[in-house]
Structure 1
Amino acid sequence: MSKSSNTSVLGCLYLVPNTLGEEDRVTQLSRVIPPDALCQMASLKNWIVEDAKTARALLNAVNQITPLSHPLQSMQMNEWRGPQSKNKTGLKPHELLKPLIQGEDVGLMSEAGVPGVADPGAEIINMAHHLGARVKPLVGPSSILLGLMASGLNGQCFSFHGYLPVDVVERSKKIKQLEHRSKQNHETQLWIETPYRNTAMLETCLATLLPQTQLCLAIDLSLETEWIWTAPINEWQKRFTNQSSMNDVLKNRPAIFLMLA
């Protein structure tokens, strides 16, 4: 497939953010997504999404603020969860972008946060570039950047690692490796965890990291229940002495872990 020499006939791929957490979407939208971005979202008919049900829920919320240009029933909505997972349509990136090639705009929607950052979509975006189409990111909440902003840790040099190993031994080993890397490069290390395993992750951090290493947890970012705290490991150990105290803060809540040695 060769890159188009006439980008004017191609549509634009809009990278559409989603809200974070379970709080009412209508309440969140006006707080975390600018009006211009909401208007652009409301104008789109063609969509690539992780989950059609979640996408329709977001667009229903958008409709209560900025009326949709097209009824939900008339929208073309294809699911894409990345190259390693089975998407219902079975379509490849260039096939999903067929409307783009035909001159129509397409929205790539995140399940939570922003597309392509700790979120599927990089392959779709890369294909749009390959075709020669315009790619337009819309402003919205990124838990990774919000957590880094609020942590007080090094925002000039940082590295995001996605999910760490589930196995306790492998997880401890990985955290020690990240601590060594952080100390060597003065680099903030960031990662996420499945919410129901947050307590186990914090327990491993408190048992593994050095007393003076700084740890930040940023929980429920952009929500009314937001909770953010940065402190040395020895202060964390004083505040959270047992699993119950950890569960009270962490259990089943979306969190970003940040560490600087």
Structure 2
Amino acid sequence: MRAAFFARVSWKRRGYCPMASLYLVGTPIGNLEDITFRALRVLKEVDLIAAEDTRHTRELLTHYGIHTPLTSYHRHNLASKTPYLLGLLREGKDIALVSDAGLPGISDPGEELVRATVAAGLPVVPVPGANAALTALVASGLPAGRFAFEGFLPRAGKERRERLAALVGEERTLIFYEAPHRLTATLDDLAATLGPRQVAIGRELTKKFETIWRGTLPEAREYFRDNPPRGELTLVVAGAPPAPRPAYDPARAAAEVADLEASGLDRKEAMARVARIYGQSRREIYRACLQAREGGQGGSGGLGEPATARGGSLPGDKAVSPSGD
């Protein structure tokens, strides 16, 4: 049955792809069963597999009886291997790019080859698979509708401080990767910068001894200081709470509309933007602008007769949510 499944049939003959392609193949992040039938077929059929660590990838290939040739592609040989692999693609060779775990191009050197392939006008075909960031996110218990993936933080210095400072007001859930020997220092910095936010820390995800620790950043700092982890870790940190809305002042709202119009913004969009800021309807902002003009407090000028006075209604007459929906 395996032989039938892996029967080599050229994609070009089947008309799936008219020219040689770079296939971005997702591989397991721990459990070898977490790989798709399509990924196995691609790894079997391509002419060459470019791997971050050929020894690691060979274990996966051996497990599934795949004997496709391997070549290394890592941060130490990018300069020479990128043009070499592009040359093979131009010659009509299909290449699969894999990382040690998960999807290539995420926190690994694969993105360089992808960028070069796109620039060369050659096809790039994603073959989805496991991903540590999303796996940890969906199991974290934290909001997963909006999130920001930060990968590995800069090791130290000004760049690290600036990156952390830029995240203080980020309302989306944050996802980081970290090595075990740097975890305590990272938790120290996150707790100092972001405060006592909730965090979920995934270790050995999809493996036999998978654990997901949950608590606050200060609690995580103390726990992992006493219990040093092993293996790569994924941190999922709660985003910042939404900033409180300013108190609504009709005169100030009207002035802000006038300022936005003076800067070149369309009146309708200016009123909608101010309505979002204060959580008011656009009708209310329109009234505020009329009151400001009639009261001689500076106005938006030329607002004209209110639509309601003509028996009509203002366009978009509804409460405006903070997101503008």
TM score, norm. by length of structure 1: 0.73
Give the corresponding residue for 2:28: 19
CA change 1:168–1:101 in 2 (3 A) is: closer
Distance 1:42 1:170 in 2: 42
Structure number having the greater strand percentage: 1
Give the corresponding residue for 1:25: none
Distance 2:72 2:27 in 1: 15
Q: Of the candidates 213, 216, 222, which is equivalent to residue 200 of structure 2? A: 216
Residue segments in structure 2 that go unaligned for 5+ positions in a row? 1-15, 241-325
Amino acid at match of 2:123: R
Q: Of the candidates 81, 101, 122, which is equivalent to residue 111 of structure 2? A: 122
CA change 1:130–1:201 in 2 (3 A) is: closer
CA change 1:150–1:39 in 2 (3 A) is: same
Amino acid at match of 2:130: P
Distance 1:176 1:216 in 2: 21
Q: Of the candidates 29, 42, 47, which is equivalent to residue 32 of structure 2? A: 29
CA change 1:165–1:151 in 2 (3 A) is: same
CA change 1:120–1:170 in 2 (3 A) is: closer
Q: How does 1:91-240 map to 2 (within 5 A)?
A: 91-167=80-156, 174-175=163-164, 177-178=166-167, 180-182=168-170, 186-206=171-191, 208-211=193-196, 213-233=197-217, 236=219, 240=222
Residue segments in structure 1 that go unaligned for 5+ positions in a row? 1-6, 22-27
1:171-205 CA distance string (max 9 Å, x none): 67754542x132xxx11122111222223333444
Q: Of the candidates 45, 49, 52, which is equivalent to residue 50 of structure 1? A: 52
* RMSD (Å), alpha carbons: 2.9
User: Which protein shows a greater Rg?
Assistant: 2
CA change 1:228–1:242 in 2 (3 A) is: closer
Contact 1:141–1:222 (CA<8 Å) still a contact in 2?
A: no
1:40-95 CA distance string (max 9 Å, x none): 212223122222222222211221xxxx3xx45xx2x33222xxx4318x525243
Displacement after TM superposition at 1:222 (Å): 1.6
Displacement after TM superposition at 1:106 (Å): 0.7
Amino acid at match of 1:44: V
Query: Which secondary structure does the structure 2 equivalent of 1:54 belong to?
Result: helix
Distance 1:169 1:8 in 2: 47
Displacement after TM superposition at 1:8 (Å): 6.1
Query: Which secondary structure does the structure 1 equivalent of 2:63 belong to?
Result: helix
1:98-120 CA distance string (max 9 Å, x none): 22212221111112211011222
Give the corresponding residue for 2:42: 40
Q: Are residues 1:86 and 2:76 paired?
A: yes
Give the corresponding residue for 1:24: none
Amino acid at match of 2:29: L
Contact 1:50–1:80 (CA<8 Å) still a contact in 2?
A: yes
Distance 2:122 2:158 in 1: 46
Query: Which secondary structure does the structure 2 equivalent of 1:225 belong to?
Result: coil
Percent identity reads 30
1:96-154 CA distance string (max 9 Å, x none): 12222122211111122110112221121223223333322222211011112222323
Distance 1:242 1:111 in 2: 26
Amino acid at match of 2:236: L
Contact 2:187–2:217 (CA<8 Å) still a contact in 1?
A: no
Query: Which secondary structure does the structure 1 equivalent of 2:71 belong to?
Result: strand
- Tell me which moved more, 222-231 or 140-149: 222-231
Distance 2:175 2:57 in 1: 27
Give the corresponding residue for 2:237: 259
TM score, norm. by length of structure 2: 0.60
